[in-house]
Chain A
Amino acid sequence: MIKQLMQKLRLANLLRQDSTKSEQADQAWSFTEDPNQNIKLLSEAIGNSMDLRTKLLSLVKGQHVAVLYLESMVNSASLQDNVIRPLQSETEDKAILSLSPRVLLETLATQFITLGDLNLTDSLTKAVEALLAGQTVLLVKGFAGALLADTAGPKVRNIEPPQTEVVVRGAHEGFVEELVTNVSLLRRRLRTAELTLDCLRLGSYSQTTVAIAYLRGLTNPKLVEEVKRRLKGIKIDAILESGYVEQFIEDHPFSPFPTVSNTERPDVVAAKLLEGRVAIIVDGSPFTLVVPTLLVEAFQNAEDYFSRPWYASMIRMVRYIAFAISVLTPAVYVALVTFHQEVIPTPLLITVAAAAEGTPLPSFPEAFSMSLVFEILREAGVRMPRALGQAVSIVGTLVIGQAAIQAGVVGAPIVIAISITALASFVVLPLADVSALLRVFFLFLAAVLGLVGVLFGVIFIVTHLASLRSFGVPFLSPFAPLTPADLKDTVVRAPLWSMVTRPRLIGWHDPKRMEFRLQPSPPDEDEGGEST
């Protein structure tokens, strides 16, 4: 105990020393009037990296401009067209020789460099940051400062259809890894001044830009504050994916249920912002986080809203059933076969008994091992390089399909049960990992207590769900607490013209989504007025 305490103290001291040291270094570390010295300072600051390029451009008669940039981070076409060429070709005949260094840089910025984002700075730290962000640093002799030109734009992936949320009807644009592109995808869908994007830098090493997007007049300001507060609390070395952020801001880190949702689709993010939610876009990740998150959102899909309500409602119900199947099937099978044989219809019982006749394992180990085999197959299918994918599917179908049954290793009924489970678990993809965990949990309960155990587990899980909150909103709403008006978008998907209000617990700040009585109908012949 005391030893641990001492260790902690020592660690705390170490951390404190570190921070004071860097502050001291800051003070002695600034631009000089000598450009060569400045270049040296900058290149030392980023460790003389191989991708740092230094160019000396001569203007008129001995006036030089030093241009520094990181080749790996700049858009070379933009650098060439907007910075280097104007400086080389157009500055010859101008009377810039007489200008003082600072005015010279300003003149360059205003008259020659054809870029929008230009800044003068005296701070070496800022210059290093800018360099690392892909900006170009321009230095002249006699000025203890630098001109920063935003030439950022390394090569990124093109916009592609989202990999995870596939739709038949709807936009085929998914987020990419680069933040600015993602923001533009979002802004194109919400072309309003209300769309606000606040930025944060997270990760002491990664310096990841994290954008918080929300609609100003519509979102609860307290929610935005809370999101910012939680984000600012993330003191970590690097944010490599939005999953990092998710795990630091979620309400219930020990729950198997995710209280922060993510999506790859800009139209989904736009729709959620319109419900009064806040989106967190992390640079370097195509997955945008959205909070607060409800359980019902996992069962929603973008296409539900693009297709007509009848079929969408049916598919909604199918998803709920599929989730129940994916969680409960193996457990119910084991419970019925080992505890409640009287429930099984006689012909089916005889079939199951015949299958059990030739197999070595009792039903619980059989169900458990088949679940395991399925998880192995799934994981192999996901991680395998594309070229090997076929091998997995052939081996998989043969091994757990035909061969295992024929050889009498497992019975056909359990293979059928696991197959249905597997299929169903892919229907509700946001909860696929939850259902895999719960499946095992329920399987154990069923093996020990039968259907009583399964029921016990269901009660336990529902109680747990009712205790969850996501950024202040009960996870089970609108079911518990019951909000009748919001049931329009849960098990059924009501027609769009009837969804007049935003979800009450999230969008209460500006509840009205559209005008009333928008239900379309042919014009009335006898001018009878409102027909509903």
Chain B
Amino acid sequence: MNNARLLPALIMLVCLLATAGCWDSKEIDALAIVAAIGIDLSDTPGEYLVSAQLIRPGQMANTGETSGIAQGKPSWVIRTSAETIFKAIRELTVMSSRKLYFPHNQVIVFGRKRQDKVLPPCSTF
């Protein structure tokens, strides 16, 4: 181990970590955990109505210590309609202050009327 080589190696390591690291880190309190998604045909012809149920962890969790936070419903729903489901989901993101987080989604609900129009685009999504 000689010091002349060690120093550049260290600098490189630090640069590597600083440039390659952190890019996909997301703080947990900046996430809106999606519990359920609903997909239906909108009243506007040719558009899909997409809604998402977001968990409000402060009300949901039985921590007992969160007395400072006002009591309310444990979840809230946002919905929007767009020509495609993809577009609708992107628009949903704007409606919450937090980033929607889908991996923990439990249910996807499809509209009962006109299933033939709703299901095919989802199954090929």
For this complex, 25 residue pairs linking A to B, each with C-beta atoms less than 8 Å apart, are: A339-B26, A341-B31, A341-B101, A341-B104, A346-B106, A349-B33, A350-B33, A350-B57, A353-B29, A353-B57, A354-B57, A354-B58, A354-B63, A354-B66, A356-B29, A357-B29, A357-B57, A357-B66, A357-B69, A362-B27, A363-B28, A406-B65, A448-B17, A448-B22, A449-B20
Q: Which residues of A contact B57 (CB under 8 A)?
A: 350-351, 353-354, 356-357
Query: Cβ of A209 < 8 Å from any Cβ of B?
Result: no
List the B side residues contacting A450 at CB < 8 Å.
24-25
**Contact, CB under 8 Å: B104 / A342:** yes
Q: Does B109 contact A (CB under 8 A)?
A: no
How far apart sit A362 and B1, CA to CA, in the bound complex (Å)? Answer: 37
- Chain A residues near B (Cβ < 8 Å): 254, 337-339, 341-342, 346, 349-358, 362-363, 405-406, 408, 412, 445, 447-450, 453
Q: Which residues of the partner chain A approach B25 to less than 8 Å between Cβ atoms? A: 338-339, 447, 450
Interface residues of B in 20-65 (CB under 8 A from A): 20-22, 24-29, 31, 33, 55, 57-58, 60-61, 63, 65
**How many angstroms between the C-alpha atoms of A355 and B69 in the bound complex?**
11
Given A448-B21, A449-B21, decide whether A341 and B28 contact each other with a Cβ distance below 8 A: yes
* B72 contacts the other chain (CB 8 A): no
B68 CB-CB contact with A under 8 Å: yes
Q: A350-B55, A363-B27, A449-B20 are in contact. Are A405 and B65 (CB under 8 A)?
A: yes
**Chain A nearest Cβ from B72, distance in angstroms:** 13
> How many angstroms from the CA of A337 to the CA of B29 in the assembled complex?
10
Among B18, B20, B55, B61: residue with most chain A CB under 10 A: B61
Number of A-B contacts (CB under 8 A): 84
Residue A337 contacts which of B28, B33, B66, B104 (CB distance < 8 angstroms)? B28
Report B94-113 residues with CB < 8 Å from chain A CB: 101, 103-104, 106
Q: A351 to B27, Cβ gap below 8 A?
A: no
CB distance from A264 to the nearest CB of B (A): 33
A353 to B59, CA, bound (A): 11
Closest to A348 in B: B61
What 4 A-B pairs have minimum CB-CB distances, sorted nearest first? A448-B21, A354-B61, A342-B103, A353-B57
Please, what's the 1-or-0 string for B1-26, where 1 marks a CB less than 8 Å from any CB in chain A?
A: 10000000000000001101110111
Q: What chain B residues lie within 8 Å of A339 (beta carbons)? A: 24-26
Interchain CA distance A448-B27 in the complex, whole Å: 13
Residues of B within 8 A of A (CB): 1, 17-18, 20-22, 24-29, 31, 33, 55, 57-58, 60-61, 63, 65-66, 68-69, 101, 103-104, 106
- Taken together as a complex, chains A and B put the C-alpha atoms of A462 and B58 apart, in Å, by 41
| Chain A hits for B66, CB < 8 A | 354, 357-358
Question: B106: which A residues are within 8 A, CB to CB?
Answer: 346
Within the complex, the shortest CB–CB distance from A259 to chain B, in Å, comes to 16
B63–A338 touching, CB < 8 Å:
no
Which residues of chain B have C-beta atoms less than 8 A from A351's C-beta? 57, 61, 63
Q: Are B69 and A356 in contact (CB under 8 A)?
A: no
Residue pair B31, A353 in contact (C-beta under 8 Å): yes
A341 vs B104: C-alpha distance when bound (angstroms): 9
- In the complex, how many angstroms separate the beta carbon of A367 from the nearest chain B beta carbon? 13
Q: A346-B106, A353-B55, A447-B25 are in contact. List 19 more A-B contacts (CB 8 A).
A: A337-B27, A339-B25, A341-B31, A346-B104, A349-B28, A350-B60, A351-B57, A352-B28, A353-B29, A354-B58, A354-B60, A354-B63, A355-B61, A358-B68, A358-B69, A363-B27, A412-B63, A448-B21, A450-B25
Point out the residues of chain A lying under 8 angstroms from B18, CB to CB.
448
> What separation, in Å, do the CA atoms of A456 and B32 have in the docked complex?
30
Q: Report chain A residues within 8 Å CB of B33.
A: 346, 349-350, 353
- Once A448-B21, A449-B17 are accepted as A-B contacts, the answer to whether A356 and B27 lie under 8 Å apart by CB is yes
